[in-house]
Homo-oligomer: A and B are copies of this chain.
């Protein structure tokens, strides 16, 4: 038996042989409370500084800089801005092998996808009017920048479907896509401000703001976006020429069936559907057998090559199969002069940039965190934001639009065995080569194949298992999830987002205004008091009502808590009168979960005390925390109810009160 247990037993023996338990408990518990009774005075600025530190610098970013020489501090500073300087020193050939393979794999997945997100023929994005090369541009510069500044080792950077959709919808609201040049400039402006937003949030350490998009809302939003994007691909897949500009399911389906009269193009459908089936089967195999992980990664590229070759030799484009046609050769031109820094479009670009930047950030951080948890390393959210922001700002000046972490490509990257961000550099180089050498070869690529690739990519965003889990765990989360989903599918991307954020906030407010309270009872043969609803065998102590308040007492809930406690009392007294049991003489408020209290809360307690006095009931507090006891003393509420009415535990309080109640 260990020494500590012996000590405990000793104390228990003393209970029995020596002092009576009630006085033992009493003498033992009160000193603690009284010792805390004289709170150490905190100055206003100390307290505010502590709060601010915990809000903005909870990860203590300056900690490694402590007690270092000046030159070392400079090195550390550079390393923290460019993590590559840190991990680069330990980089070796065996790590590079993994990164090379992973980089080639994600490049083969990225190139066909990225051409696609910006293609003219994809009705939805209205990035439409960006020629296909802009997708490739965005897969060249941003990953390169990220590799130097980012702290995630597994994320794959580039344009992604959801952000492209959102950006396209928002841009289209402001400007007609047929107005090519201005549209392009506004896209760069939005990208610039998306980057500025991200970097600013990181720099001012406001990263916690993205936590307000709940997991459930994101699941719903992503699934909705995936369906919207897939429906839009019907245009390419069915070879429809006139297509709606709206994104909601009703408009799209009407568009599809109206086009049916003019005849869908069967050659296009044949190509599209067969390659879609091929990619999906490859995906399925890759999921089932982990050693074939490269199959789904390579399938899109194979499809593009085969179908392009097929169209080239059969001249299918003359039978109504739409093809990509021209892609401009060469790497990113500068676009600094194209960003609007003045005028009306500045404001519009800013507004679009803020929204797109936030969504891109949410996706990237979620991905970074997921894979970091898998390999057990830390991703610094705020530093990550600065990296993503810088990347997009530089991107906006080199003809890129908003890039972020792609979930599907990051997963492939992870499974292909990437070790560091070097895989992004490899991908970037491959894209660069593609731009310089082989873009003309894409001329005969049929649009249908690109639609297939998109559909197969976004289908993975619909996470039915996650939805089922959400349903099981939290019904309120489920409502938020469905709200976001139906908002996106039936109305628009922005409305879906708005619904998700609104429901998430409503949930917080509900939590803050209507906290739970519970009646406690004693578990038989212990001194432990627990919720009588959770533990039906817990027994209430006659003459004493024990209530636990499950929240900080703030202005937003203080009145409710007061009224709720009085209601427990009234209910209980009714019950007791019915059974002609003894009246309640003590109300013990278990304060363990009450983490804080403010002036409104103190007022509510005072009112409660006054109401109880009028009923000849004593208010007793058990285990108030440090902050709460400080404030009880500061407000002299502790004096009002009496110091001897504050106990260390419910058991102590009951032991002291019980002898005075008419116990059976």
Interface residues of A (CB under 8 A from B): 1-5, 7-9, 11-13, 15-16, 20-22, 28-29, 32, 35-36, 42, 44, 47-48, 51, 54-55, 58-60, 208, 211-216, 369, 373-374, 376, 381, 469-479, 504, 507-516, 518, 523, 525-528, 530-531, 533-535, 537, 541, 550-552, 554-560, 563-564, 567, 592-593, 595-600, 602-603, 607, 610-611, 614, 623, 625-627, 629, 631, 634-635, 648-649, 655, 658-659, 663-664
Contacts and interface: CB of A to CB of B under 8 A. Distances in A.
Given A523-B32, A555-B504, A592-B593, A514 B55 contact: yes
A15 B4 contact: no
Given A36-B535, A376-B614, A469-B599, A511 B513 contact: no
5 contacts: A12-B12, A44-B475, A211-B560, A469-B599, A550-B595
Contacts of A514: 51, 54-55, 58, 208
A28 B526 contact: yes
- Copies of the chain in the assembly: 2
A556 B212 contact: yes
A59 B562 CA distance: 12
Contacts of A648: 523, 528, 530
Given A598-B477, A626-B533, A634-B473, A554 B21 contact: no
A158 to B, nearest CB: 25
Nearest to A541: B4
Contacts of A55: 510, 513-514
Given A9-B15, A13-B16, 20 more contacts: A3-B664, A4-B541, A4-B658, A8-B525, A12-B15, A44-B475, A55-B510, A55-B514, A216-B598, A369-B559, A472-B634, A473-B635, A474-B598, A508-B508, A508-B512, A508-B554, A511-B552, A530-B623, A550-B593, A593-B595
Contacts of A44: 471, 475, 478
A373 B608 CA distance: 8
A596 B510 contact: no
A3 B58 contact: no
A376 B592 contact: no
A548 to B, nearest CB: 9
Contact of A12 (B16, B470, B510, B523): B16
A155 B365 CA distance: 55
B599 A554 contact: no
Nearest to A20: B1
A208 B563 CA distance: 12
A214 B59 contact: no
Contact of A602 (B4, B473, B658): B473
A36 B536 CA distance: 10
A634 B514 CA distance: 24
Given A555-B214, A663-B4, A58 B21 contact: no
A373 B563 CA distance: 11
Contacts of A526: 11, 28-29
List 10 A-B pairs, minimum CB-CB distance, nearest first.
A214-B555, A534-B626, A593-B593, A550-B595, A215-B600, A376-B614, A472-B634, A373-B607, A11-B525, A474-B598
Contacts of A8: 21, 525, 527
Nearest to A632: B473
Given A5-B658, A476-B598, A635-B469, A59 B567 contact: yes
A550 B474 CA distance: 20
B5 A557 contact: no
Given A36-B535, A625-B531, A557 B211 contact: yes
Contacts of A625: 518, 531, 534, 550
Nearest to A1: B20
Contacts of A477: 598-599
A663 B214 contact: no
A11 B35 CA distance: 31
Nearest to A48: B475
Nearest to A513: B208
Contacts of A558: 211
B513 A211 contact: yes
A2 B658 contact: yes
A610 B11 contact: no
Contacts of A511: 512, 552, 554, 596
B663 A599 contact: no
Nearest to A630: B473
Contact of A611 (B12, B376, B471, B554): B376
A21 B48 contact: no
B36 A534 contact: yes
B535 A2 contact: no
B610 A374 contact: yes
Contacts of A510: 51, 55
Nearest to A552: B511
Contacts of A381: 559
Contacts of A631: 473-474
Contact of A215 (B60, B469, B555): B555
A458 B507 CA distance: 39
Contacts of A58: 514, 560, 563-564, 567
Contacts of A2: 658-659, 663
Nearest to A566: B378
A599 B474 contact: yes
A11 B29 CA distance: 21
Nearest to A635: B473
Nearest to A47: B475
B36 A599 contact: no
Given A523-B32, A528-B649, A216 B610 contact: no
Nearest to A14: B525
A555 B8 CA distance: 40
Given A2-B659, A559-B369, A560-B58, A507 B554 contact: yes
A641 to B, nearest CB: 15
Given A473-B634, A507-B554, A659-B2, A211 B559 contact: yes
A598 B506 CA distance: 14
